[in-house]
Amino acid sequence: MIIEIISMNGYGAYVWSAFAFTLTSFTTLYFVIKLQLSKEQKRFAKKFGSLSIEKAKAAKQQTINNEILSNISNI
Residue 21 lies in domain: 2-69
Query: Residue 72: what pLDDT?
Result: 64
Would you place residue 33 in the very low, low, confident or very high pLDDT band (cuts 50, 70, 90)? very high
Three-state DSSP state, 20: helix
| Residue 27 within any structural domain of the chain | yes
| Residue 62 within any structural domain of the chain | yes
| Residue 31 within any structural domain of the chain | yes
Query: Residue 69: what pLDDT?
Result: 66
Q: What mean pLDDT, rounded, does the chain reach?
A: 83
Query: Residue 19: what pLDDT?
Result: 95
Query: Residue 71: what pLDDT?
Result: 67
The tally of domains found in the chain comes to: 1
Provide the total of helices (H) and of strands (E) in the chain, helices listed first. Answer: 4, 0
CB within 8 Å of 53: residues ≥ 6 apart: none
| Residue 74 within any structural domain of the chain | no
